[in-house]
Amino acid sequence: MASTPKMHQSNRNLLDIDRDHLIHSVTSFRAHEARGATMLQSGKGMWLTDMDGREVLDAFAGLWCVNVGYGQDSIVEAAAEQMRRLPYATGYFHFGCEPAARLAERLVALSPEGLEHVYFTLGGSDAVDSAIRYITHYYNAIGKPAKKQCIALERGYHGSSSTGAGLTALANFHRNFDLPLRWQHHISSPYPYRSDLEGDDAAIIARSVQQLKDRVAELGADNVAAFFCEPIQGSGGVIVPPVGWLKAMRQACDELDILLVADEVITAFGRTGPMFACEAEGVTPDLMTVAKGLTSGYVPMGAVLMSDKVYQGIADGAAADVVIGHGATYSGHPVSAAVGLEVLRLYTEGGILANGQKVAARFDAGLAGLADHPLVGDTRGRGLLGAIELVADKGTKARFDPALKVADRLFNDGYANGVIFRAFADNIIGLAPALCATDAEMDEIFARIRKTLDGLLEQADIRATLG
């Protein structure tokens, strides 16, 4: 083949190519230009190998999504077989295909009683965005067009679509994006460690309920459409509310006549123990968004699960021959759906869900074992979703000075010690290992984290700030 300038370019160092042309998600462009990418090359089970051949333990399942672990051959085969047979079928108009219909049926069977309809998306952000669109349509269809205001939690994360990013309540997602939108509101998150009510679970729950009621009263009950929440907040720093919180919020939504949307993009598919986090509290939301663990990150896919009440409201509100104008070329993509079916099989018949529930005891023990570390203010978790919150002063819970860049140092030192976790800006280590981990791998994760914390503790500027 003739050599072209483009081919010449592709022989450049991969890090330079990446730096010059690839925009990375949720990254400072300038910081990325300076730092460059950490290039990953292959994965097996809990382990990743980077471009330099270094093996690291992934304690974050990619981005809390590779729940079944890397290198599951049966998933590769399911995708290849579907690609050979039928790589694409539209879900538009009245076309369909077997994997999408079967996956919808399977999801309905596994999810909390009462969720009966499924719309497939490409991921979590468009699942949330679709939920918002369907809710808007629903209230117009049932003759309550004023009900448009939505309430979510501070520190909540609902993706980065132009509607969902305003329900997200993280400063970087609003700054310079002109968000939140005027119909988006937030109440404080049930964050026991940072609450003046710490230790009194009932009072923390009661305060959330009261805040929701107060905000609805302020906005006018006839104007409020829905309350959106993650059963456990992920990107806000793995904030675990007291047991019973979700159930109380469900009851409050019923009393207030507003819809409950459970954003289970992280918490579904065994991440917190049961198949769905809502299950643990016997809660059926009106809509539930999922993604990540649905295909375990092998291919993109998300979904909105919808109660029959919402579905029938939308269906009855439109004349039989008027289309409901929401859709996407790749909704219900056959290859993603085939992967989803195989991933669900691995969770259930493949025993991965049960393994996750078993190894969660070791995960808990690992978290508890770090509680007395001089840098650790709080450890928390449910199932295989957890956090270690570092503080400069255990007594006052004071955070480290941002100038110390503790999160960056934590991530880099962890990586050097052979473990990947999420290091949140306010010095919270987020953990979400795959459900296929062994007890020995779990112990190794915590040994590497301890080594990382000990290393940080030895650094003079960190020691100097400790209370």
Q: Is 234 in the site for ligand PLP (CB under 6 A)?
A: yes
Q: Is 431 in the site for ligand PLP (CB under 6 A)?
A: no
Q: Is 184 in the site for ligand PLP (CB under 6 A)?
A: no
Q: What is the CA radius of gyration of the chain?
A: 23
Cα separation, 275 vs 294, whole angstroms? 11
What's the closest the beta carbon of residue 121 comes to ligand PLP, in angstroms? 9
Q: Is 159 in the site for ligand PLP (CB under 6 A)?
A: yes
| Strands 55-58 vs 419-420: parallel, antiparallel or unpaired | parallel
Cα separation, 397 vs 264, whole angstroms? 29
| Part of the chain binding ligand PLP (CB under 6 A), chosen from 119-127, 138-146, 317-325, 342-350 | 119-127
Give the dihedral sign, CA 183/186/187/190.
positive
Which CB atom, from 157 or from 400, has the smaller least distance to ligand PLP? 157
Q: Which of 72, 125, 184, 284 binds ligand PLP (CB under 6 A)?
A: 125
Query: What are the residues facing 390 on neighbouring strands?
Result: 376
Q: Is 158 in the site for ligand PLP (CB under 6 A)?
A: yes
Query: What are the residues facing 430 on neighbouring strands?
Result: 387, 422
Q: Is 294 in the site for ligand PLP (CB under 6 A)?
A: no
Q: Is 266 in the site for ligand PLP (CB under 6 A)?
A: yes
Q: At a CB cut-off of 8 Å and minimum separation 6, what does 194 contact?
A: 397
Q: Is 62 in the site for ligand PLP (CB under 6 A)?
A: no
What's the closest the beta carbon of residue 395 comes to ligand PLP, in angstroms? 32
Cα separation, 281 vs 248, whole angstroms? 9
Q: Which of 129, 263, 441, 444 binds ligand PLP (CB under 6 A)?
A: 263
Which CB atom, from 331 or from 452, has the smaller least distance to ligand PLP? 331
What's the closest the beta carbon of residue 222 comes to ligand PLP, in angstroms? 28
| Part of the chain binding ligand PLP (CB under 6 A), chosen from 112-120, 153-161, 213-221, 249-257 | 153-161
How many chain residues touch ligand PLP (CB under 6 A)?
A: 15
Which CB atom, from 233 or from 284, has the smaller least distance to ligand PLP? 233
Question: What would the DSSP string read from start to end of 142-194?
Answer: TT-TT--EEEEETT----SSTTHHHHS--HHHHTTTT-S-TTEEEE----GGG
Cα separation, 435 vs 360, whole angstroms? 9
Q: Is 299 in the site for ligand PLP (CB under 6 A)?
A: no
Cα 329 to Cα 121, 312, 333, 386: the distances in Å are 10, 24, 8, 36
Q: Is 67 in the site for ligand PLP (CB under 6 A)?
A: no
Which CB atom, from 181 or from 368, has the smaller least distance to ligand PLP? 181
What's the closest the beta carbon of residue 466 comes to ligand PLP, in angstroms? 32
- φ, ψ dihedrals at 307, nearest 5°: -70, 160
What's the closest the beta carbon of residue 164 comes to ligand PLP, in angstroms? 7
Residue for token pair 């003759």? 143
Which CB atom, from 157 or from 446, has the smaller least distance to ligand PLP? 157
The answer to whether 442 and 363 have CB atoms below 8 angstroms apart is: yes
In 3D space, the residue among 340, 318, 321 whose CA is nearest the CA of residue 331 turns out to be 340
Q: Which of 230, 342, 378, 444 binds ligand PLP (CB under 6 A)?
A: 230
Q: Which of 69, 91, 123, 433 binds ligand PLP (CB under 6 A)?
A: 123
Overall residue count recorded for the chain in this entry: 467
Which CB atom, from 187 or from 291, has the smaller least distance to ligand PLP? 291
| Part of the chain binding ligand PLP (CB under 6 A), chosen from 30-38, 154-162, 204-212, 220-228 | 154-162
What's the closest the beta carbon of residue 63 comes to ligand PLP, in angstroms? 6
Which CB atom, from 62 or from 418, has the smaller least distance to ligand PLP? 62
Which CB atom, from 128 or from 359, has the smaller least distance to ligand PLP? 128
Which CB atom, from 187 or from 392, has the smaller least distance to ligand PLP? 187
In 3D space, the residue among 233, 238, 239 whose CA is nearest the CA of residue 263 turns out to be 233
Q: Which of 43, 62, 124, 190 binds ligand PLP (CB under 6 A)?
A: 124
| Strands 224-229 vs 259-263: parallel, antiparallel or unpaired | parallel
Cα separation, 400 vs 407, whole angstroms? 10
The answer to whether 428 and 238 have CB atoms below 8 angstroms apart is: yes
53: three-class secondary structure by DSSP = coil
Q: Is 128 in the site for ligand PLP (CB under 6 A)?
A: yes
Question: What would the DSSP string read from start to end of 222-290?
Answer: GGEEEEEE-SSBSTTT-B-PPTTHHHHHHHHHHHHT-EEEEE-TTTTTTTTSSSSHHHHTT---SEEEE
Q: Is 157 in the site for ligand PLP (CB under 6 A)?
A: yes
| Part of the chain binding ligand PLP (CB under 6 A), chosen from 117-125, 274-282, 352-360, 392-400 | 117-125
Q: Which of 216, 239, 252, 265 binds ligand PLP (CB under 6 A)?
A: 265
Contact residues toward ligand PLP (CB under 6 A) are 123-125, 128, 157-159, 230, 234-235, 263, 265-266, 291, 302
